[in-house]
Structure 1
Amino acid sequence: MALLSARRPRKPGRQGPAGPPGRAARLRSPGVLAVLLVVALLAALTAAVSFGSTSIPPQEVWSVVGRRIAGRAPRPGTDDLIVWQLRVPRALLAALVGAGLGVVGAGVQALVRNPLADPYLLGVSNGATLGAVAAIVLGAGGGGLLGLGLSGAAFAGALGSFLLVWLAARRGGGFSPLRLVLAGVAIGQFLSGLTSCLVLRAGDEQQTRGVLFWLMGSLGGATWDLLVVPSVVVPAGLVLLLARARALNALAAGDETAAALGVAVGRLRRELFLVTSLLTGVLVAVSGAIGFVGLMVPHVCRLLVGGDHRRLLPLSALTGAVLLVVVDLICRTAVDTQELPAGVVTSLLGAPALLLLLDRRLERP
């Protein structure tokens, strides 16, 4: 009788000592979390455009944005220039890069079946960084290396490293997670060594500072033209991965289980590798090497909503967008005399937060 009584469901609305049943579950519902993250993203974008060396009231920010979207003539003064030409593109780029890093992180973690894998594990970011540094050190004028420009050189380096890792991982006919990780780490370290050699060749102190700032990540070069490629590639990458969400869920259970469920494991891994590598190359090309976002964001979302990629991918995109918009605001306003690199701030904020989450997770029975 005691066992039957223990299993008897509670009546709706009945409360225990911890409060109404299901409150925590409702707060962690994917739909509720998505709404909260959208609201947080709008608030973060508004704050990012409002605050800076010159503060602009939020109502004025939305007035300028509304007039621009409606196609009306801007008001005379500097507010329109600051809001529309400088801060809005930067805030939107931060949101796109953050969302892309969150999606890439979730994709790479599914690819190697490790919830603590990093999107830069495949070495593609090292190739993008090498291309950008080569454009800075060896390029002439504003055209960059071979006339590609900084972002073009970074993307070319990402594609080159992608091909190297692909060929190394496919050597011998295998395409296992271990082979892929080892190939990415080895080639990434080799490309990192080449980057260090180029940094040593930098001709002057100003050039060296520019290279180091790129290596640590920055959103300071945001323009409307720079938004075009990531605004297409990031949503496309999210859609492609969402289309394979059920297969990703099966892959998380193991290769044999996924194959038994009808998933072509080898083909799925190739698709994941291609999508995550191209996404990483585009993101590094427009923002430099911003670490830790792709590691932390999917892991935090997984703790909240579980491993179902139909929920994990969109929530990772929203969380990454909110995080990087806030980080970029901190980079611009924390120190009066200079701007902080975004990669430094993400590491300083993210590492303690992730350690705290891991510690709380390990304490659960």
Structure 2
Amino acid sequence: MTALATAGTAEEGEPGVRTVGAGWACAALGVLLVAALAASVCLGSTRVPLDEVWSAVVRGVSGQEPAPGTQDLIVWRLRVPRALLAAVVGAGLGLVGTAVQALVRNPLADPYLLGISSGASLGAVSAIVLGAGAGGALGIGLSSAAFAGALASFALVWTFARRGGGFRPLRLVLAGVGIGQFLSGFTHYLVLQAGDEQRTHGALFWLMGSLGGAQWATLALPAAAVVAATAVLLARARALNAMLMGDETAASLGVDVTRLRRELFVATSLLTGVLVSVSGAIGFVGLMVPHACRMLVGGDHRRLLPVAALFGAVLLTVVDLVARTALPDQELPVGVVTSLIGAPTLLYLLDRRLERP
């Protein structure tokens, strides 16, 4: 047990970078998250002073109706649920990215690059176009369809990556990119087959990534999924540390590699499906967050996972604020902003890996 407890902790972060304590990192990120949430609620096409925001939140929590002539409606029914959903989705993407990178032993992996988000998007768009989003033709909900698509795409990518025996992280990423592009093409085809303008608009929502449809009713499921995933991943943090050292080493330390990988495949696919069902496919968050957090607190997943959740929440809350306010009369899709940040990050990480012997 001692060997398993310390397995994988050698990856304490980037070479030459001093890490900080997880407690300090969580405290600092918690403060940043509160500030980001406050800014997200205050700022927008209509600016609301912080004292009015606080009054509206107090009235909303106490169950009072919005006061006449105030901006309670904007604050409580529109901006607060959207800011909270951004934080929840960001936390979930940070967790999924961290888990997937450990699972496949590739720091360039994330749900978007591995095709998991594309599969979830295909499932969600299929439900929308076929009328199953409200329990229609297929008899399943939007989240269930997204989960099924995410799990199927992950299984397909993994099967291709394992062909010929052995496991090659680069082959996995390339398989994910290829299969993800194929699924995206099929998804676009389904969008073109949508029978009416409303369904087409709904399908495009999932493709570009947006938090504009946030409501109080949409918060419960993703929040519960993130909490459950956090508990599951933290319980397996030591095993994830061992996985970084390779399957054989992990097995020698008492980890049932096959069972662990199966469990985490299901957990990450389920969480990705739930997140995509409420926000669409938002790329690169799961790639950037684990790298930044490893630089902060190192590679031990007992510290890395909670920090990644908080960092992801802060990042997506800020990104959503930028998407809403960057242009005066237009809102950018969140996925567009994360791609503008994430694509250069991916090229930088790839360049650094190629420079290493």
- Say how many residue pairs are matched: 338
Residues 143-292 of structure 1 aligned to structure 2 (within 5 Å) = 143=134, 146=137, 152-153=141-142, 155-163=144-152, 165-166=154-155, 169=158, 178=168, 181=172, 187-203=179-195, 208-292=200-284
Task: Report if aligned partners of 2:108, 2:346 keep a CA contact under 8 Å in 1.
Answer: no
Inter-partner Cα distance in structure 2 for 1:249 and 1:231: 26
In the superposition, relative to structure 1, how do residues 213 and 175 fare at CA in structure 2: closer, same or farther (>3 Å)?
Answer: farther
* Corresponding residue number in structure 1 for 2:13: none
Inter-partner Cα distance in structure 2 for 1:169 and 1:79: 50
CA RMSD, 1 decimal: 3.4
Inter-partner Cα distance in structure 2 for 1:183 and 1:116: 13
The reply on whether 1:322 has 2:311 as its aligned counterpart is no
TM-score, normalised to structure 2's length?
Answer: 0.83
* Corresponding residue number in structure 2 for 1:339: 331
Q: CA deviation at 1:116?
A: 1.5
In the superposition, relative to structure 1, how do residues 79 and 170 fare at CA in structure 2: closer, same or farther (>3 Å)?
Answer: same
* Corresponding residue number in structure 1 for 2:54: 62
Unaligned runs of 5+ in 2: 1-16
Task: Report if aligned partners of 1:165, 1:183 keep a CA contact under 8 Å in 2.
Answer: no
Inter-partner Cα distance in structure 2 for 1:281 and 1:138: 18
Q: Show CA shifts across 1:269-295 (max 9, x none).
A: 111111111110000011000000001
Inter-partner Cα distance in structure 2 for 1:83 and 1:71: 14
Which structure dedicates a bigger proportion of its chain to helix?
A: 1
Task: Report if aligned partners of 1:162, 1:277 keep a CA contact under 8 Å in 2.
Answer: yes
TM-score, normalised to structure 1's length?
Answer: 0.81
Answer with 1 or 2: which has the greater Rg. 1
SS in 1 for 2:67: coil
Q: CA deviation at 1:303?
A: 1.9
State the identity %: 66
Deviating more after overlay: 228-237 vs 156-165? 156-165
Q: CA deviation at 1:158?
A: 2.8
Task: Report if aligned partners of 1:136, 1:144 keep a CA contact under 8 Å in 2.
Answer: no
In the superposition, relative to structure 1, how do residues 227 and 59 fare at CA in structure 2: closer, same or farther (>3 Å)?
Answer: same
- The amino acid across from 2:270 in the alignment is L
Inter-partner Cα distance in structure 2 for 1:295 and 1:43: 24
Q: CA deviation at 1:120?
A: 2.9
Inter-partner Cα distance in structure 2 for 1:354 and 1:60: 41
Inter-partner Cα distance in structure 2 for 1:360 and 1:193: 31
Inter-partner Cα distance in structure 2 for 1:294 and 1:49: 24
Unaligned runs of 5+ in 1: 1-23
Residues 12-27 of structure 1 aligned to structure 2 (within 5 Å) = none
